[in-house]
Chains A and B, each alone.
Chain A
Amino acid sequence: MNREKIHGVDYDPFEIEQQEWKKRQVRERLKQILTITSPIFILILWEFLSRTGLVDARFFPAPTAIIATFLDMGANGELYQHIGISLYRIFAGFLLGVIPAIILGLLMGLYSPIRHFFSPLVMALMPIPTLALLPIILIIFGIGEVSKIVTIAGSVFFPVIINTVAGVVNIDRIYLDVAKNYGASTKDFFFKIALPGSLPVMLEGIQMGQAIALLTIVAAEMMGANSGIGYLIWTSYSSFILKEMYVGLVLISFFGYLFSLLLRGLQRKLLPWK
């Protein structure tokens, strides 16, 4: 019954659509392959250029050589110490920045007097790179761990607070009306409406904060530390052991990617309603 004659030829509409569907599947798969081709292509090109001496292998050691260096460094355990201390600083600084940013951001979003009081301060302080304040932070908090954690906290704080405020302010008015009409207490309003309602935009801010935290930790460790991935990059550069420097750079790239994936996962977990 499904066969129709068009210009005297038999066509099955399902067959035709199935062909189309198959073509679309192939195209999707090609796109996926394309996404992993570009990094692989660059790595192969790099390897080739470096091995053949077309680029100076002292400045651009071959990827395989970098991997070998990474394994060597891993064997004597020192590398893990650097990674461990950097991760500790990132997590501690991240939490120290994110938690107050969320609390103050929610308050600013909910109560316009608080918003009007704090927003000029936030706006004025935001453009100052926390790194430029590092000397002051070192004077106040000393050369120890606290100063690095504070530096990271400072740079994570701003994107998170700004997105949290925006998240609350942009909650559809009708949900506020519903909460008011059904007699929500201040506490319920905070936890049942403001927090979940602002969460999508807030998480975007946290994602941004995460990227900034990595940028900051490397720079901060370059300037005032004697351990960590940033310190590793800096000392290997100063002593011209560029293979080790590249190991540091690859590590940063790896953790940046990993954290992004983790946060995306968290986002899906926290926002089942999106």
Chain B
Amino acid sequence: MSDNAKISIDGLTKVFYKKNSSVVALKDINVEIQDGEFVCLIGPSGCGKTTLLRILAGLETPSIGEFTIAQGKEDRPIQSMVFQEQGVIPWLTVYENVAFGLKMRHLPKDTVQERTDYYLRKVGLDKFANLYPKELSGGMKQRVSIARAFANDPEILLMDEPFGALDEQNKFILQEELLNIWSETKKTVLFITHSIDEALLLSDRILLMSSQPGQIIDQKTIDLARPRNMEQVRSNKEMADDFVNIWKHLQVEVQGSRI
């Protein structure tokens, strides 16, 4: 195990037991993620990638195996999650949503105010601070979700298909915004997606998963220089090859799980 590993997952297996149909959601997962690395986890739906993220997020427990997340600063929370679409709490205003993690940690009022304002400005929602989520578009809601996670200043960020429900234009914009904020903080990120384009644009490294049992079967390092944007990814020959390779892999997996 290298010294620099921020997240290390060791022999992690998760079984969902039901009387007649038990499922091996994750089988013997071994992963190390370096400090400051942006890693995307890509795989067919139902391959257990969300389960892995939920385990790291403390929302599920592994059946066997373990994981550690290295603690840097002591007063930092270990992890914060950006949830799929509906993770913004409807009875809290935009401001209260972004401040949620900070308030739960009972930080001093001015710290909460300062950090919340900073990230509201970062995602361009400072004018909407007092609105309720019902008045926001899907893209704005995900901005709230991202600001909430970054404002909490955790050791690592976990993102569960945060842009999955957005239309394509919004998705591109938010992806670049995310990269902007990320490049400022250099957080370690584990990001789940089923979009190959998204993974190529965002990642330092892509982990490929198979389904049933969910295993990490391959990985790819993405060397494209940062800052990146979608046009670069689209016009780069190497990226195009990577896209095809990953697609071939996924195709096999998706078809395999249909049988």
Contact = CB atoms under 8 A, between A and B. Distances in A.
Given A177-B83, A181-B80, A273-B91, 9 more contacts: A178-B87, A178-B89, A180-B59, A181-B57, A181-B58, A182-B148, A183-B104, A188-B103, A273-B133
| Residue among A181, A183, A188 having the largest count of chain B Cβ atoms under 10 Å | A181
A196 interface: yes
A136 to B, nearest CB: 41
Interface in A183-197: 183-185, 188, 192-193, 196-197
A184 to B, nearest CB: 5
7 contacts: A174-B87, A180-B58, A181-B80, A182-B148, A185-B104, A271-B91, A273-B134
B228 interface: no
Interface of A: 172, 174-175, 177-185, 188, 192-193, 196-197, 199, 271-274
Contacts of B86: 172, 174
B104 A184 contact: yes
Interface of B: 57-59, 77, 79-81, 83-84, 86-87, 89-92, 100-101, 103-105, 132-134, 148, 152
Contacts of A174: 83-84, 86-87
A177 B158 CA distance: 13
Contacts of A197: 91
Contact of A183 (B83, B84, B90, B105): B105
A199 B83 CA distance: 24
A182 B132 contact: no
Contacts of B101: 182-183
A180 B59 CA distance: 8
A196 B104 contact: no
B105 A181 contact: no
B71 to A, nearest CB: 14
A50 to B, nearest CB: 51
Contacts of B92: 192, 273
Nearest to A184: B104
B81 A196 contact: no
B168 to A, nearest CB: 24
Contacts of A185: 104
A174 B90 CA distance: 11
Nearest to B135: A273
Nearest to B152: A182
A272 B132 contact: yes
